[in-house]
Amino acid sequence: MTGVDRPGLLGFPGVGEVGDRLPVWGEALLAAAALLVVVSTVVRLVRTARRARRGRRRR
């Protein structure tokens, strides 16, 4: 494998490169995956915060 075959950012060819871009469905899929990660992280943080508050009140 030479330097020309090197994948772009995040291992996806075309991501982060100036020349080629992902097709529309690829960008939509990547955006949906990123949104899912953000939402799941926020939900986890909220649940953890609620459990911590409940534990302090009971004791």
What pLDDT, on a 0 to 100 scale, did the predictor assign at position 46? 96
Q: What span, in angstroms and rounded, lies between the C-alpha atoms of 49 and 19?
A: 44
Q: How many other CB atoms are found less than 10 A from the CB of residue 31?
A: 10
What tens-digit pLDDT sequence spans the chain (59 residues)?
455 555 555 555 555 554 456 788 988 999 999 999 999 999 999 999 999 888 766 55
Residue 42 is encoded by which pair of tokens? 């926020």
Give me 2's structure tokens.
């030479």
